[in-house]
C-alpha cells in the first residue's frame, strides 16, 4: 500500500466520555496524528492523509473551528524539525483562504522547507471537501485552457493523481462526509468504532493485515 487516508472522527465523543470539553478531545486527537503517521512509515506506507476538518465543519461554532486552526498551527510548528530531519513532504489540502496570515505563514513555511522531499508524504486535509476539490480542479483546467478529461481532472486535484489505496474512518459512522469523493472511486474502506484519540499504532498494523487480505480487482476479472 502506498497511500492511506484517515477520517479522524470521534474527538468530541471521546472527550464527552471522559467528562472533558470538546476542545480537549480535539487536542488529544491532534496529538495522535504524528504518531500514527510514523507508524504508517514504519509499516512501509509512504503517504498518509489525515482529514482534520471538512468544509462542512466550518459551520460549527467559531470557537471550535478557531481552536482547531490553532492546533494545526501549533502541531506544524512542533513537528517541523522532525519533518525536515526525516525528509517528509508536508502539505495542507483544502481551502485555506480564510485562515489568518500567521497560520498561512506557518503552513507555507513548512510546505516550502519540505517541498523537495518525495519519498514520504504527510497531508493534512483542512477545510477540505471532495466536491470543492473536483470543482477546483475543473476551474484550474478551464483557466489554463486544458482539456477537461478524466486524467486531467485527476491530476489537478489537491492530491494530484496520488489516490488513497485505503480510507479508514474511526468513530463508528460509515460515510465519507465529503472526503476525497473522486479519489475514493477504488479505495478500500474500513470503518472502525474506535474513537480517534484512542486509535493506536496496533490498530494500524491490524488494518494493514486486513488490507493485505483484500483482492483488489478494479473492475477486472483477474487482478493482473
- Is 133 among the residues that bind ligand IPE (CB under 6 A)? no
- Is 133 among the residues that bind Mg ion (CB under 5 A)? no
Binding characters for ligand IPE, 195-224, by CB under 6 A (x = yes): ------------------------------
Answer whether 23's CB lies under 8 Å from 92's CB.
no
Backbone angles phi, psi at 121, to 5 degrees: -135, 130
Q: Which of 11, 42, 46, 57 is catalytic?
A: 57
Residues 6+ apart with CB under 8 A from 67: 23, 26
What nine digits make up the cell of 2?
502506498
Binding piece for ligand IPE, criterion CB under 6 A, among 3-11, 83-91, 136-144, 147-155: 3-11
- Is 127 among the residues that bind ligand IPE (CB under 6 A)? no
Q: CA–CA separation, 204 vs 208, rounded Å?
A: 6
* Shortest distance in whole angstroms from residue 119 CB to ligand IPE: 26
Alpha-carbon separation of residue 153 from 102, 176, 177 (angstroms): 32, 20, 21
- Cα atoms found within 13 Å of the Cα of residue 194, Cβ hemisphere only: 20
- Interface with Mg ion (CB under 5 A), residue from 7, 9, 164, 196: 9
Binding piece for ligand IPE, criterion CB under 6 A, among 45-53, 85-93, 143-151, 157-165: 45-53
CB-nearer residue toward Mg ion: 131 or 175: 175
* Shortest distance in whole angstroms from residue 170 CB to ligand IPE: 8
What nine digits make up the cell of 77?
510548528
Q: Which positions are annotated as active-site residues?
A: 9, 57
Amino acid at each position: 500500500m502506498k497511500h492511506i487516508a484517515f477520517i479522524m472522527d470521534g474527538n468530541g465523543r471521546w472527550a464527552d466520555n471522559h467528562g472533558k470539553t470538546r476542545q480537549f478531545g480535539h487536542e488529544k486527537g491532534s496529538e495522535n496524528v504524528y504518531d500514527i503517521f510514523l507508524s504508517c512509515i514504519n509499516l512501509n506506507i509512504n503517504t498518509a492523509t489525515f482529514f482534520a476538518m471538512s468544509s462542512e465543519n466550518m459551520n460549527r461554532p467559531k470557537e471550535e473551528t478557531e481552536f482547531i486552526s490553532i492546533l494545526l498551527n501549533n502541531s506544524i510548528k512542533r513537528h517541523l524539525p522532525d519533518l525536515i530531519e526525516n525528509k517528509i513532504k508536508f502539505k495542507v489540502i483544502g481551502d485555506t483562504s480564510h485562515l489568518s496570515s500567521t497560520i498561512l505563514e506557518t503552513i507555507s513555511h513548512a510546505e516550502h522547507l519540505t517541498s523537495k522531499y518525495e519519498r514520504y508524504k504527510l497531508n493534512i486535509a483542512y477545510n477540505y471537501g471532495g466536491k470543492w476539490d473536483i470543482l477546483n480542479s475543473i476551474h484550474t483546467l478551464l483557466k489554463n485552457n486544458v482539456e477537461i478529461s478524466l486524467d486531467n481532472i485527476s491530476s489537478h486535484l489537491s492530491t494530484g493523481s496520488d489516490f488513497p489505496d485505503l480510507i479508514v474512518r474511526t468513530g463508528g459512522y460509515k460515510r465519507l462526509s465529503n472526503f476525497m469523493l473522486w479519489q475514493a472511486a477504488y479505495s478500500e474502506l474500513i470503518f472502525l468504532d474506535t474513537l480517534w484519540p484512542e486509535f493506536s499504532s496496533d490498530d494500524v498494523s491490524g488494518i494493514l493485515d486486513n488490507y493485505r487480505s483484500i483482492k483488489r480487482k478494479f473492475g477486472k476479472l483477474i487482478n493482473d
